Amino acid sequence: MSAPPKIFQQIEKLRDEIRKHDFQYYVLNEPLISDYEYDRRYRQLADLESRYPQLVTPDSPTQRVGGEPTKEFPTVTHSSPMLSLSNTYSEGEMREFNRRVRTILGEDPYEYVCELKLDGVAVNLKYEGGLFVQGATRGDGVMGDDITPNLKTIRSIPLRLFTEETALLNIEARGEVFMNKLDFEALNAEQKKRGEKLFANPRNATAGTLKQQDPRVVASRPLRIYLYYLSYSSEEEQFHYDDLKTLGKLGLPVNQNFRLCGNIDEVIEFCREWEPRRDDLPYEIDGVVVKINSIPQHQVLGSTAKSPRWAMAYKFKAREAETILKGISLQVGRTGAVTPVAELEPVRLAGSTIHRATLHNEEEIARKDFRVGDTVVLKKGGDVIPKVSEVVLKKRLPGTVPFQMPKTCPVCGGPLIKPEGEIISRCENLSCPAQVQRRIEHFASRGAMDIEGLGTAIVEQLIENNLIRDFSDPYFLEADDLIPLERMAEKSADNLIRAIEKSKERPFEKVLFALGIRFVGATVARVIARHFGSMDRLKSATCEELEAVYEIGPRIARSVVEFFQNEVNLKVIERLAKAGVRMAAEDEEIPAPKGIFAGKTFVLTGRLAGFTREEASEIIHNEGGQVISSVSKKTDFVLAGEEPGSKYKKAKKLGVKIIDEEEFENLIMTNKMRE
């Protein structure tokens, strides 16, 4: 059906209105109309567009959530590298930074702009002809992921800029995507209700959301954005301060807490002012970003490989609170390691209430002289885990005594052993209920067999009721066994049985990880699974055979061999096999490796100048290759650095292709350019 011009006008009018109200609501936080009125316009527009699909344009407000889920994000090369910032925690270093600027700029006068350092995820937005055409993550600074469909769902990002000015139609803006603290808490509550994974903090929630492959999921999450950097081609002399204003005029959200400062004293004043105010803000900030105002001076000051010399981040100190150490309890892990835990008088710190915190080991407690009854300082740094940092000695009460590690396990009463030279005490009783419990929890955890519903509380009940003793037992449970348990309805019993059944499909590498062999984390488990291919082959592997695998050292090798020497372990594995849990990788579909080194094997020898060995291996892995430890005819490349060893000679003899560091770099670079 061809559309009458009247319809076209009506559609455009509705779009303009909706754009304006989006801006009022999402950017200015000042809605002019009710949700009802807004929805009415939106529905009217969606209705007209469905009747006249030929009139749908990519910048229509209805087009925010679209497209099919992507398997992988395309890679984009940034038009200029997305640098990070040098950090400092001290005013002294801020003054030092100012002196360096002064030295380089000489007599030229200069000013600073101070902004809040938002704690989120950096992105780059690209507009062409005024339309939002691409949004990307920072990635490694040079290349990032194209996450345009995900960013389009953020309602404060205009799909079309509010300008007709030619110079401003083609721009790039950089900024931070983040989540408000309250929105984050609501999201986590929702996640919990659905039995989904909880996010550690708003930044992780944001990062996790932007990585989602389905834009519909992203649209359902409360993401926001503030832009803090504009690049566009203009001949005129420019100031960063004006750029911030311009971003705002274009309809892009800009955090309004920025200030022009004439000198470093004013900068420091800004930092001092905001540090105590951070908790009053609805979003997380972790410092202040200080930038030279004049853009031409940015050019004069230049950048190092990682960060510009015209900017500096002043990071706030970790947040802290004082509380009372009420007791020190002991936690027994799945390998029997005993960790002392601080039982604290509950205290609010950076948005959550802290009851407990690890004290790591008895040496740490002795060094810091933590005693039950002490007033201690609790700190929460950039990460989420609170740390008991020190005791407030002047508040120590008389009668406190130094902590003494008990000689017996608090759970099973068995002896605690601390081998010479080690700092961790262990309960060596493999059937210690705490260990059994932890081992089963680990077995069922998301990264291992991923058995939904088999969490701490249920495992505890099952053990108490003698229904399970090791992690093979869940496979022989029936719904009727479960129903009599407390808080277990028929439906949840069925669900659990189904989840256990489903875990039999987990790949061999996850099964291996789930066994909880000491030092065999998820990555090592994958390496071993790929290399040995089956439980039978692994069972009979010797230390030498294991150590021949590139990533495996003697410590891991010994641990694996010892694990398979233990009769009890072998019995459990036998039962797992009988239940139908995967015991080999052979019949699995392992996704074909991708990248320039897909399917290729490398041996490294000699000293590399530009990379550590770990870095080189990581690049090879990321490009789909494998690093092995010894050269054979089947080896594809030997990467030889300075003073290569016997592997080099062997490669020569066997005619294996030898490349030096430069050739290696060239291979990577040419590939990147092709992209």
Q: Is 506 helix (H, G, I), strand (E, B) or coil?
A: coil
Among 20, 71, 117, 380, the one annotated catalytic: 117
Smallest distance, Å, CB 672 to ligand IVH?
A: 21
Of the candidates 112, 127, 199, 229, which one interacts with ligand IVH according to CB under 6 A?
A: 229
Q: For residue 252, state whether it binds ligand IVH (rule: CB under 6 A).
A: no
The one segment of 78-86, 198-206, 329-337, 442-450 that binds ligand IVH by CB under 6 A: 78-86
Smallest distance, Å, CB 58 to ligand IVH?
A: 27
Q: Which residue is listed with tokens 């939002």? A: 132
Of the candidates 301, 311, 409, 572, which one interacts with ligand IVH according to CB under 6 A?
A: 311
Q: For residue 313, state whether it binds ligand IVH (rule: CB under 6 A).
A: yes
| CA atoms within 13 A of residue 373's CA, in its CB half-sphere | 9
303 or 331: whose CB is closer to ligand IVH?
303
Q: For residue 145, state whether it binds ligand IVH (rule: CB under 6 A).
A: no
Count Cβ atoms below 10 Å from residue 186 Cβ, excluding itself: 13
Start-to-end CA span in the chain (Å): 42
Q: For residue 289, state whether it binds ligand IVH (rule: CB under 6 A).
A: yes
Q: For residue 83, state whether it binds ligand IVH (rule: CB under 6 A).
A: yes
Q: For residue 97, state whether it binds ligand IVH (rule: CB under 6 A).
A: no
| Angle at alpha carbon of residue 26, lines to 21 and 27, rounded to 5° | 95
Smallest distance, Å, CB 81 to ligand IVH?
A: 9
Q: For residue 451, state whether it binds ligand IVH (rule: CB under 6 A).
A: no
**Distance in angstroms (rounded) separating the CA atoms of residues 41 and 119:** 35
Cα torsion at 120, 124, 127, 133 (round to 10°)?
A: -90
Q: Is position 650 annotated as part of the catalytic site?
A: no
Residue 146 DSSP code: B
Smallest distance, Å, CB 123 to ligand IVH?
A: 8
Q: Burial-class residue 555 by CB neighbours within 10 Å (0-12, 13-18, 19+).
A: exposed
Q: Is 322 helix (H, G, I), strand (E, B) or coil?
A: strand
Smallest distance, Å, CB 122 to ligand IVH?
A: 3
Give Cα 64 distance to the centre of its chain: 26
- The closest of 612, 424, 587 to 518, measured between CA atoms, is 424
Smallest distance, Å, CB 82 to ligand IVH?
A: 7
Q: Which residue is listed with tokens 């939106």? A: 42
Count Cβ atoms below 10 Å from residue 510 Cβ, excluding itself: 20
Binding footprint of ligand IVH, residue count (CB under 6 A): 14
The one segment of 104-112, 200-208, 307-315, 427-435 that binds ligand IVH by CB under 6 A: 307-315
Q: Which residues contact 81 (CB under 8 A, 6 or more apart)?
A: 141, 142
Smallest distance, Å, CB 350 to ligand IVH?
A: 18
117 or 380: whose CB is closer to ligand IVH?
117
* Position closest to ligand IVH via CB: 122
Q: For residue 331, state whether it binds ligand IVH (rule: CB under 6 A).
A: no
Cα torsion at 478, 484, 489, 491 (round to 10°)?
A: 10
Of the candidates 57, 84, 375, 400, which one interacts with ligand IVH according to CB under 6 A?
A: 84
Count Cβ atoms below 10 Å from residue 664 Cβ, excluding itself: 22
- Tokens at 348, concatenated: 């609010």
Binding mask 106-135 for ligand IVH (x = CB under 6 A): ---------x-xx---x-------------
- Tokens at 504, concatenated: 């039999």
**Footprint on this chain of ligand IVH (rule: CB under 6 A):** 83-85, 115, 117-118, 122, 176, 228-229, 289, 308, 311, 313
Provide the annotated active-site residues: 117
